């Protein structure tokens, strides 16, 4: 605690943008600025802007990739509105995001506090990141085998404990929670690291004052840590919620949408319509809808959680 406090004091956190020194800048800088921005800009235009615009265009067409796209206007969107599988995919994805984000954020916050105040060994802090170093597909397959109904080691332990085996991936009730927990396991170390960085940015003297005033540990956490951590927490939430909505690879290598429609998450449904059923127009239209949903979710989070303001000023 003391070392961290010293660090924090010697290097005050850079929150809030530095105030611009001059009111305006000379236009001559523009060329140089563009020169430096160009590499990122070219990549952004070619790999993000152009594909996005083309995706939006394709969402108004019928397109099987081998022929030419034919303009069908809003047909894809009206069909989606009546498509029970689309609404199912929204519900399934929502369930996944809820379990994943609540668990992941709570566990990551707990881990970050432990890293901040108890586990100071670099080895232990590093170990928390280990699952994140594994690719998503490997993590999913690893758990797919460990949780297998017939030959999985986890079910062997469950049986030894005298309980009935659980079809973690096979039953409709378990499939989504199982995958949400697996991805929580993989991502919580990384999320904890982000929150931990936020904790380190809170000046130690505030805690010392709180201690002098006789605040309990819980009061300190609730009244000081959480409010001062808010900008970081909001950022973490925005990033992890967007990531969580895009769950795909875990589903693709394990249940592939089944059993029945229990894991047909929105990204997998897009993939199925576009790449399996060669309906790229329909797939693009769902992708556009997902894009709008994510933009809205991020906007709401930033707006109502005031993610771009800090209480430290």
Partner 1 sequence: MKKSLGAVAVAAVMALSLSACGGGSSSSAESSKGGEINYWLWDANQLPAYQQCADDFTKANPDISVKITQRGWDDYWSTLTNGFVGGTAPDVFTNHLGRYGELAENKQLLAIDDAVKKDNIDLSQYNEGLADLWVGQDGKRYGLPKDWDTIGLFYNEAMLASGGVTEEQMKNLTWNPQDGGTYEQVIAHLSVDKNGKRGDEAGFDKNNVAVYGLGLNGGGDSSGQTEWSYLTNTTGWSHTDKNPWGTHYNYDDPKFQESMDWFAGLVEKGYMPKLETTVGASMADTFAAGKSAINAHGSWMTGQYTGYQGIDVGIAPTPVGPEGKRASMFNGLADSIWAGTKKKDASIKWVEYLASADCQDVVASKAVVFPALKASSDKAAAAFAAKNVDVSAFTEHVKNKSTFLYPITDNTAKVKGIMEPAMDAVVSGKAPASSLTQANEQVNALFK
Binding site for partner 1 (CB under 8 A): 47-48, 50-52, 54-55, 58, 64-67, 136, 144-145, 147-152, 165, 167, 169-172, 183, 187, 243-244, 246-249, 254-255, 257-261, 264, 267, 270-280, 284, 287, 290-291
Pick between residue 76 and residue 225 the one whose CB is nearest to partner 1: 76
Nearer to partner 1, 225 or 250 (CB): 250
Nearer to partner 1, 49 or 217 (CB): 49
Q: In the complex, what is the shortest distance from the CB of residue 52 to partner 1, in angstroms, rounded to a whole number? A: 7
Q: Which is nearer to partner 1, 229 or 269 (CB)?
A: 269
> Nearest distance from residue 295's CB to partner 1, in Å?
12
The least distance separating partner 1 from the CB of residue 208, rounded to whole angstroms, comes to 40
Using CA atoms, how far residue 86 sits from 3, 262, 302, in Å, is 53, 12, 27
* End-to-end Cα distance, the chain: 23
C-alpha–C-alpha distance, residues 212 and 30, integer Å = 52
C-alpha radius of gyration, the chain, whole number: 24
Judge whether 281 and 58 are in contact, CB under 8 Å: yes
Write down the least CB distance from residue 161 to partner 1, Å: 16
Q: Minimal distance in Å, beta carbon 73 to partner 1?
A: 20
Question: With respect to partner 1, which residue has the nearer C-beta, 201 or 241?
Answer: 241
């Amino acid at each position: 605690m003391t070392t961290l406090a010293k660090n924090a004091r010697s290097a005050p956190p850079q929150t809030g943008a530095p105030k611009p020194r001059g009111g305006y800048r000379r236009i001559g800088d523009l060329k140089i600025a563009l020169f430096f921005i160009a590499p990122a800009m070219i990549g952004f235009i070619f790999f993000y802007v152009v594909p996005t615009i083309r995706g939006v265009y394709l969402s108004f067409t019928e397109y099987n990739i081998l022929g030419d796209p034919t303009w069908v206007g809003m047909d894809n969107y009206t069909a989606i509105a009546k498509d029970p599988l689309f609404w199912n995919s929204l519900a399934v994805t929502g369930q996944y995001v809820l379990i994943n984000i609540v668990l992941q954020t709570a566990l990551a916050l707990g881990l970050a506090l432990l890293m901040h105040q108890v586990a100071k060994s670099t080895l232990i802090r590093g170990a928390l990141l280990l699952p994140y170093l594994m690719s998503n597909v490997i993590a999913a397959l690893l758990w797919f085998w460990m949780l297998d109904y017939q030959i999985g080691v986890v079910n062997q332990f469950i049986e030894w404990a005298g309980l009935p085996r659980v079809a973690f991936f096979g039953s409709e009730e378990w499939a989504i929670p199982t995958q949400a927990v697996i991805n929580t396991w993989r991502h919580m170390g990384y999320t904890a690291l982000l929150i931990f960085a936020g904790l380190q940015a809170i000046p130690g003297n505030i805690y010392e004052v709180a201690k002098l005033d006789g605040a309990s540990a819980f009061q300190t956490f609730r009244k000081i840590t959480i409010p001062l951590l808010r900008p970081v927490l909001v950022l973490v939430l925005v990033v992890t919620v967007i990531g969580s909505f895009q769950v795909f690879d875990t589903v693709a290598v394990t249940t592939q949408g089944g059993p029945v429609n229990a894991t047909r998450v929105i990204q997998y449904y897009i993939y199925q319509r576009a790449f399996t059923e060669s309906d790229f127009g329909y797939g693009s239209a769902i992708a556009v809808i997902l894009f709008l949903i994510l933009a809205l979710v991020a906007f709401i989070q930033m707006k109502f959680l005031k993610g771009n303001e800090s209480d430290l000023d």
